[in-house]
């Protein structure tokens, strides 16, 4: 189980970090749009649609990575007071009852939308530029598959926690700026 958890975490991290770079492209695209719109009075018909597509892709492809790092929002005012074994039991039930059926529905429905969209190379009807969107609909399926892979790893984490009494943590690959600053401040105070 540990090997699968590490595998799923690394796959999710690779996709999340790779698609995270879309933020740079979005920044350049929107900066270009602002420049040509306000300096040259020549707005582009495509920039808003492309930024929506890139943001949606980044958001969806980062879902499994966020799940692997425990970054999704949860109302844990009671949850955090429970013992790890209780947390794991509740999580396991919720994964089985809600997560997997919901993600499976996402993949099946996304597959229908994507295959129909690819069949006639769909373009955005809201865009004067006719931006192609069939490839974006494929992201729905890809994101769902990544979530299934990571969800299975989370189920394994629950099983291990119920057995061992503690959570198997993901590798630390990203650290919040606030944590870095607090560590630096503590280090400076100790010197």
Contact 63, 28 (CB under 8 A): no
Domain count along the chain: 1
In a domain, 55, yes or no: yes
In a domain, 64, yes or no: yes
In a domain, 25, yes or no: yes
State residue 113's pLDDT score: 93
In a domain, 191, yes or no: no
Q: Is the pLDDT of residue 174 over 80?
A: no
CA 175 to chain centre: 17
In a domain, 177, yes or no: no
In a domain, 176, yes or no: no
In a domain, 183, yes or no: no
Give the tens place of pLDDT for each residue, 11-31: 999 999 999 999 999 999 899
Q: How far is CA 161 from CA 2, 100, 111, 158, in A?
A: 12, 20, 34, 5
Domain around 162: 2-69+77-170
Return the structure tokens found at 44: 């582009």
Contact 83, 131 (CB under 8 A): no
- Residue percentage of the chain with pLDDT more than 90: 63
Give the tens place of pLDDT for each residue, 98-144: 999 999 999 999 999 999 999 999 988 877 888 888 999 999 999 99
């Amino acid at each position: 189980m540990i090997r699968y958890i590490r595998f799923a975490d690394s796959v999710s991290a690779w996709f999340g970090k790779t698609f995270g770079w879309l933020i740079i492209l979005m920044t350049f695209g929107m900066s270009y749009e602002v420049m040509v719109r306000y300096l040259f009075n020549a707005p582009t018909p495509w920039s808003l649609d492309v930024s929506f597509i890139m943001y949606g892709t980044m958001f969806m492809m980062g879902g499994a990575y966020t799940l692997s790092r425990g970054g999704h929002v949860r109302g844990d005012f009671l949850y955090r007071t429970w013992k790890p074994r209780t947390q794991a039991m509740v999580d396991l039930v919720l994964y089985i009852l809600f997560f997997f059926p919901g993600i499976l529905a996402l993949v099946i429905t996304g597959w229908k939308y994507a295959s129909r969209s690819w069949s006639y190379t769909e373009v955005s009807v809201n865009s004067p530029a006719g931006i192609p969107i069939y490839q974006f609909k494929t992201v729905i399926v890809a994101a769902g598959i990544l979530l299934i892979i990571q969800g299975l790893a989370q189920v394994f984490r629950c099983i291990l926690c119920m057995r061992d009494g503690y959570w198997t943590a993901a590798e630390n690959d990203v650290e919040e700026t606030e944590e870095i600053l607090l560590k630096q401040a503590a280090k400076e105070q100790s010197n």
